[in-house]
Amino acid sequence: MSPLRTAALAQILGGVIAVFLVQIAYPRLFAAPLVVAAIQGACAAMVSARLGAPKWWLGIHLCFLPAALWLTRLGQDLGIAPLWYFAGFIALLLVFWRTDRNQVPLYLSNAATAAALASALPDAPCQVIDLGCGDGNLLRRLAAGRPDCDFVGIEHAPLPWLWAKLASIGRTNLEIHYGNFWRLRLDRFDLVYAFLSPVPMPRLIVKARTEMRPGTLLVANSFAVPGVVPEHVIEVCDRRATRLYCYRMSGDRQ
Ligand SMILES: C[S@@+](CC[C@H](N)C(=O)[O-])C[C@H]1O[C@@H](n2cnc3c(N)ncnc32)[C@H](O)[C@@H]1O
Protein backbone atom coordinates (compact mmCIF):
# COMPACT_ATOMS: atom_id res chain seq x y z
CA MET A 1 0.00 0.00 0.00
CA SER A 2 1.28 3.53 -0.75
CA PRO A 3 2.38 5.62 2.28
CA LEU A 4 -0.48 8.07 1.69
CA ARG A 5 -3.12 5.32 1.64
CA THR A 6 -1.64 3.78 4.80
CA ALA A 7 -1.78 7.21 6.48
CA ALA A 8 -5.39 7.80 5.38
CA LEU A 9 -6.40 4.34 6.64
CA ALA A 10 -4.66 4.96 10.00
CA GLN A 11 -6.48 8.30 10.38
CA ILE A 12 -9.89 6.81 9.55
CA LEU A 13 -9.48 3.73 11.75
CA GLY A 14 -8.04 5.94 14.51
CA GLY A 15 -11.18 8.09 14.30
CA VAL A 16 -13.54 5.08 14.44
CA ILE A 17 -11.70 3.55 17.42
CA ALA A 18 -11.56 6.90 19.27
CA VAL A 19 -15.30 7.56 18.82
CA PHE A 20 -16.08 4.00 19.94
CA LEU A 21 -13.86 4.26 23.03
CA VAL A 22 -15.23 7.66 24.10
CA GLN A 23 -18.81 6.49 23.47
CA ILE A 24 -18.50 3.45 25.72
CA ALA A 25 -16.17 4.94 28.35
CA TYR A 26 -17.22 8.57 28.85
CA PRO A 27 -19.60 10.14 26.26
CA ARG A 28 -19.44 13.54 27.99
CA LEU A 29 -15.95 13.87 26.56
CA PHE A 30 -17.51 14.71 23.19
CA ALA A 31 -18.01 18.20 24.66
CA ALA A 32 -14.19 18.59 24.59
CA PRO A 33 -13.30 18.08 20.88
CA LEU A 34 -9.59 18.76 21.43
CA VAL A 35 -9.37 15.86 23.91
CA VAL A 36 -11.26 13.56 21.53
CA ALA A 37 -8.88 14.66 18.76
CA ALA A 38 -5.89 13.79 20.99
CA ILE A 39 -7.38 10.32 21.60
CA GLN A 40 -7.94 9.94 17.84
CA GLY A 41 -4.28 10.94 17.27
CA ALA A 42 -3.06 8.27 19.71
CA CYS A 43 -5.31 5.61 18.11
CA ALA A 44 -4.20 6.61 14.59
CA ALA A 45 -0.54 6.40 15.65
CA MET A 46 -1.09 2.89 17.04
CA VAL A 47 -2.89 1.76 13.87
CA SER A 48 -0.08 3.26 11.77
CA ALA A 49 2.50 1.28 13.77
CA ARG A 50 0.43 -1.91 13.34
CA LEU A 51 0.33 -1.27 9.57
CA GLY A 52 4.14 -1.15 9.55
CA ALA A 53 4.50 2.55 8.65
CA PRO A 54 7.93 4.14 9.39
CA LYS A 55 8.32 5.52 12.94
CA TRP A 56 8.33 9.17 11.87
CA TRP A 57 4.67 8.83 10.82
CA LEU A 58 3.71 8.33 14.50
CA GLY A 59 4.37 11.98 15.37
CA ILE A 60 2.38 13.13 12.35
CA HIS A 61 -0.62 10.98 13.32
CA LEU A 62 -0.43 12.10 16.96
CA CYS A 63 -0.52 15.77 15.99
CA PHE A 64 -2.60 15.82 12.78
CA LEU A 65 -6.21 16.16 14.03
CA PRO A 66 -5.39 18.14 17.21
CA ALA A 67 -3.31 20.56 15.14
CA ALA A 68 -6.03 20.87 12.47
CA LEU A 69 -8.61 21.60 15.16
CA TRP A 70 -6.37 24.06 16.97
CA LEU A 71 -5.50 25.91 13.74
CA THR A 72 -9.19 26.09 12.79
CA ARG A 73 -9.96 27.73 16.14
CA LEU A 74 -6.98 30.04 15.85
CA GLY A 75 -8.13 31.02 12.36
CA GLN A 76 -11.60 31.80 13.68
CA ASP A 77 -10.19 33.86 16.59
CA LEU A 78 -7.80 35.82 14.34
CA GLY A 79 -10.29 36.14 11.47
CA ILE A 80 -8.09 34.20 9.01
CA ALA A 81 -10.19 33.08 6.02
CA PRO A 82 -10.15 29.26 5.47
CA LEU A 83 -8.99 29.98 1.92
CA TRP A 84 -5.52 30.83 3.31
CA TYR A 85 -5.18 27.31 4.71
CA PHE A 86 -6.19 25.93 1.34
CA ALA A 87 -3.65 28.23 -0.34
CA GLY A 88 -0.96 26.94 2.06
CA PHE A 89 -1.88 23.36 1.19
CA ILE A 90 -1.69 24.09 -2.56
CA ALA A 91 1.71 25.84 -2.13
CA LEU A 92 3.13 22.83 -0.25
CA LEU A 93 1.69 20.49 -2.87
CA LEU A 94 3.32 22.49 -5.68
CA VAL A 95 6.71 22.36 -3.90
CA PHE A 96 6.73 18.75 -2.68
CA TRP A 97 4.44 17.31 -5.39
CA ARG A 98 4.14 13.47 -5.25
CA THR A 99 6.72 12.90 -2.49
CA ASP A 100 4.33 10.28 -1.08
CA ARG A 101 4.66 8.26 -4.30
CA ASN A 102 8.34 8.63 -5.29
CA GLN A 103 9.64 9.13 -1.72
CA VAL A 104 12.10 11.80 -2.84
CA PRO A 105 11.50 15.07 -0.98
CA LEU A 106 13.02 18.45 -1.82
CA TYR A 107 16.30 19.33 -0.13
CA LEU A 108 19.05 21.19 -1.88
CA SER A 109 22.74 20.61 -2.59
CA ASN A 110 24.89 23.21 -0.87
CA ALA A 111 27.70 25.40 -2.25
CA ALA A 112 30.46 23.05 -1.00
CA THR A 113 28.83 20.14 -2.84
CA ALA A 114 28.58 22.22 -6.03
CA ALA A 115 32.30 23.00 -5.76
CA ALA A 116 33.16 19.31 -5.18
CA LEU A 117 31.00 18.29 -8.14
CA ALA A 118 32.64 20.93 -10.33
CA SER A 119 35.98 19.32 -9.57
CA ALA A 120 34.60 15.94 -10.74
CA LEU A 121 33.61 17.27 -14.17
CA PRO A 122 35.78 16.10 -17.07
CA ASP A 123 38.35 18.66 -18.31
CA ALA A 124 36.90 18.52 -21.83
CA PRO A 125 33.52 20.09 -22.70
CA CYS A 126 30.76 17.72 -21.56
CA GLN A 127 27.01 17.24 -21.02
CA VAL A 128 25.73 17.09 -17.45
CA ILE A 129 22.24 16.39 -16.06
CA ASP A 130 20.79 16.84 -12.59
CA LEU A 131 17.93 14.34 -12.11
CA GLY A 132 15.33 16.20 -10.06
CA CYS A 133 17.07 19.57 -10.19
CA GLY A 134 14.90 21.29 -7.54
CA ASP A 135 15.36 25.06 -7.73
CA GLY A 136 18.27 24.61 -10.19
CA ASN A 137 20.74 26.42 -7.94
CA LEU A 138 23.36 23.67 -8.20
CA LEU A 139 23.20 23.77 -12.00
CA ARG A 140 23.42 27.56 -12.10
CA ARG A 141 26.62 27.42 -10.06
CA LEU A 142 28.09 24.72 -12.31
CA ALA A 143 26.98 26.47 -15.52
CA ALA A 144 28.57 29.74 -14.39
CA GLY A 145 31.90 28.02 -13.65
CA ARG A 146 32.02 25.88 -16.82
CA PRO A 147 30.77 27.87 -19.83
CA ASP A 148 32.27 25.18 -22.12
CA CYS A 149 29.85 22.50 -20.79
CA ASP A 150 26.09 22.02 -21.27
CA PHE A 151 23.92 21.52 -18.23
CA VAL A 152 20.39 20.09 -18.13
CA GLY A 153 17.96 19.91 -15.22
CA ILE A 154 14.69 18.00 -15.08
CA GLU A 155 12.16 18.50 -12.31
CA HIS A 156 8.55 17.36 -11.83
CA ALA A 157 7.46 19.53 -8.89
CA PRO A 158 5.79 22.58 -10.47
CA LEU A 159 7.01 25.38 -8.19
CA PRO A 160 10.73 24.42 -7.98
CA TRP A 161 10.66 23.79 -11.75
CA LEU A 162 9.18 27.25 -12.41
CA TRP A 163 11.78 28.85 -10.14
CA ALA A 164 14.62 26.94 -11.84
CA LYS A 165 13.26 27.79 -15.29
CA LEU A 166 12.91 31.53 -14.61
CA ALA A 167 16.29 31.75 -12.86
CA SER A 168 18.00 30.05 -15.80
CA ILE A 169 16.80 32.61 -18.35
CA GLY A 170 19.77 34.14 -20.12
CA ARG A 171 22.15 31.23 -19.38
CA THR A 172 22.96 29.74 -22.73
CA ASN A 173 24.56 26.55 -21.37
CA LEU A 174 21.68 25.64 -19.03
CA GLU A 175 18.33 24.03 -19.95
CA ILE A 176 15.57 23.28 -17.47
CA HIS A 177 12.86 20.78 -18.44
CA TYR A 178 9.59 19.92 -16.78
CA GLY A 179 9.00 16.18 -16.44
CA ASN A 180 9.74 12.80 -14.97
CA PHE A 181 13.40 11.78 -15.25
CA TRP A 182 12.49 8.08 -15.44
CA ARG A 183 11.14 8.83 -18.92
CA LEU A 184 14.33 10.58 -20.09
CA ARG A 185 17.13 8.64 -21.77
CA LEU A 186 20.58 9.24 -20.29
CA ASP A 187 22.77 8.24 -23.22
CA ARG A 188 23.81 11.78 -24.22
CA PHE A 189 25.20 12.67 -20.80
CA ASP A 190 28.80 12.39 -19.62
CA LEU A 191 27.87 12.95 -15.98
CA VAL A 192 24.53 12.25 -14.30
CA TYR A 193 24.00 13.75 -10.86
CA ALA A 194 21.33 12.43 -8.50
CA PHE A 195 20.48 13.71 -5.03
CA LEU A 196 17.35 11.68 -4.31
CA SER A 197 16.76 9.23 -1.42
CA PRO A 198 17.60 5.58 -0.68
CA VAL A 199 14.35 4.40 -2.33
CA PRO A 200 15.06 4.96 -6.07
CA MET A 201 18.79 4.06 -6.05
CA PRO A 202 18.51 0.36 -7.03
CA ARG A 203 16.24 1.32 -9.96
CA LEU A 204 18.50 4.23 -10.90
CA ILE A 205 21.66 2.13 -11.25
CA VAL A 206 19.79 -0.26 -13.56
CA LYS A 207 18.66 2.70 -15.70
CA ALA A 208 22.17 4.18 -15.72
CA ARG A 209 23.81 0.88 -16.69
CA THR A 210 21.25 0.35 -19.44
CA GLU A 211 21.37 3.83 -20.95
CA MET A 212 24.66 5.58 -20.12
CA ARG A 213 27.73 5.19 -22.32
CA PRO A 214 30.83 3.31 -21.06
CA GLY A 215 33.24 5.62 -19.25
CA THR A 216 30.55 8.11 -18.16
CA LEU A 217 29.85 8.84 -14.50
CA LEU A 218 26.83 8.58 -12.22
CA VAL A 219 27.32 10.74 -9.12
CA ALA A 220 24.94 10.00 -6.24
CA ASN A 221 24.81 12.53 -3.42
CA SER A 222 24.50 10.96 0.05
CA PHE A 223 22.60 7.81 -1.00
CA ALA A 224 24.80 4.99 -2.22
CA VAL A 225 23.50 2.20 -4.41
CA PRO A 226 23.10 -0.83 -2.12
CA GLY A 227 25.42 -3.69 -3.04
CA VAL A 228 27.41 -1.74 -5.65
CA VAL A 229 30.93 -0.52 -4.84
CA PRO A 230 31.51 2.99 -6.22
CA GLU A 231 34.64 3.70 -8.28
CA HIS A 232 35.48 6.43 -5.79
CA VAL A 233 33.83 8.59 -3.14
CA ILE A 234 34.26 12.36 -2.88
CA GLU A 235 34.18 13.60 0.72
CA VAL A 236 32.76 17.11 0.80
CA CYS A 237 34.03 19.45 3.52
CA ASP A 238 30.67 20.63 4.81
CA ARG A 239 28.83 20.36 8.11
CA ARG A 240 26.75 17.35 7.07
CA ALA A 241 29.87 15.54 5.77
CA THR A 242 28.28 15.00 2.37
CA ARG A 243 29.59 12.05 0.37
CA LEU A 244 29.38 11.85 -3.41
CA TYR A 245 29.36 8.21 -4.59
CA CYS A 246 30.82 8.02 -8.10
CA TYR A 247 29.87 5.05 -10.30
CA ARG A 248 31.78 4.71 -13.58
CA MET A 249 29.80 2.96 -16.32
CA SER A 250 31.77 -0.04 -17.53
CA GLY A 251 29.73 -1.00 -20.55
CA ASP A 252 28.72 -4.37 -19.02
CA ARG A 253 24.94 -4.52 -19.15
CA GLN A 254 24.60 -6.29 -15.76
C1 LIG B 1 16.66 16.06 -2.93
S2 LIG B 1 16.03 17.12 -4.15
C3 LIG B 1 17.52 17.59 -5.00
C4 LIG B 1 17.44 18.92 -5.71
C5 LIG B 1 18.67 19.27 -6.54
N6 LIG B 1 19.07 18.18 -7.38
C7 LIG B 1 19.83 19.62 -5.66
O8 LIG B 1 20.71 18.79 -5.53
O9 LIG B 1 19.83 20.73 -5.09
C10 LIG B 1 15.26 15.94 -5.23
C11 LIG B 1 14.37 16.55 -6.28
O12 LIG B 1 14.00 15.54 -7.22
C13 LIG B 1 12.67 15.79 -7.64
N14 LIG B 1 12.16 14.53 -8.20
C15 LIG B 1 11.91 13.38 -7.52
N16 LIG B 1 11.51 12.42 -8.36
C17 LIG B 1 11.50 12.97 -9.60
C18 LIG B 1 11.17 12.46 -10.90
N19 LIG B 1 10.78 11.19 -11.06
N20 LIG B 1 11.29 13.28 -11.97
C21 LIG B 1 11.70 14.57 -11.79
N22 LIG B 1 12.02 15.11 -10.60
C23 LIG B 1 11.93 14.32 -9.51
C24 LIG B 1 11.97 16.26 -6.39
O25 LIG B 1 10.81 16.99 -6.70
C26 LIG B 1 13.06 17.14 -5.76
O27 LIG B 1 12.95 18.46 -6.19
Q: Read off the pLDDT of each residue in 5-29 and give the average, rounded to a whole number.
A: 96
Confirm or reject: Cβ of 64 under 6 Å from ligand 1: no
CB 242 within 8 A of CB 234: no
Beta strands in 122-216 (DSSP E): 127-131, 150-155, 174-178, 191-194
Residue 252: the pLDDT is 62
Convert the pLDDT of each residue in 148-162 to its tens digit. 999 999 999 999 999
Task: Using the mean position of ligand 1's atoms as its centre, give its distance from the Cα of residue 196 in Å.
Answer: 6
In terms of CATH, what superfamily is 111-248?
Vaccinia Virus protein VP39 (3.40.50.150)
Confirm or reject: Cβ of 102 under 6 Å from ligand 1: yes
Residue 98: the pLDDT is 80
- Given a cut of 90, whether residue 205 has pLDDT beyond it is yes
Task: Using the mean position of ligand 1's atoms as its centre, give its distance from the Cα of residue 195 in Å.
Answer: 7
Taking CA atoms only, the protein residue closest to ligand 1 atom 13 is: 132
Residue 253: the pLDDT is 54
Residue 102: the pLDDT is 82
> Where does CATH 3.40.50.150 sit in the chain?
111-248
Convert the pLDDT of each residue in 226-245 to its tens digit. 999 999 999 999 999 999 99
What backbone torsions phi and psi does residue 129 show, to the nearest 5 degrees?
A: -130, 140
Q: Which residues are registered as beta bridge partners of 234?
A: 244
Confirm or reject: Cβ of 182 under 6 Å from ligand 1: yes
pTM of the predicted structure, to 2 decimals: 0.86
Convert the pLDDT of each residue in 105-158 to its tens digit. 899 999 999 999 999 999 999 999 999 999 999 999 999 999 999 999 999 999
- Given a cut of 90, whether residue 99 has pLDDT beyond it is no
Task: Using the mean position of ligand 1's atoms as its centre, give its distance from the Cα of residue 155 in Å.
Answer: 6
Task: Using the mean position of ligand 1's atoms as its centre, give its distance from the Cα of residue 180 in Å.
Answer: 9
Beta strands in the chain (DSSP E): 127-131, 150-155, 174-178, 191-194, 217-221, 232-235, 243-248
Of 145, 139, 203, the residue nearest 177 (C-alpha): 139
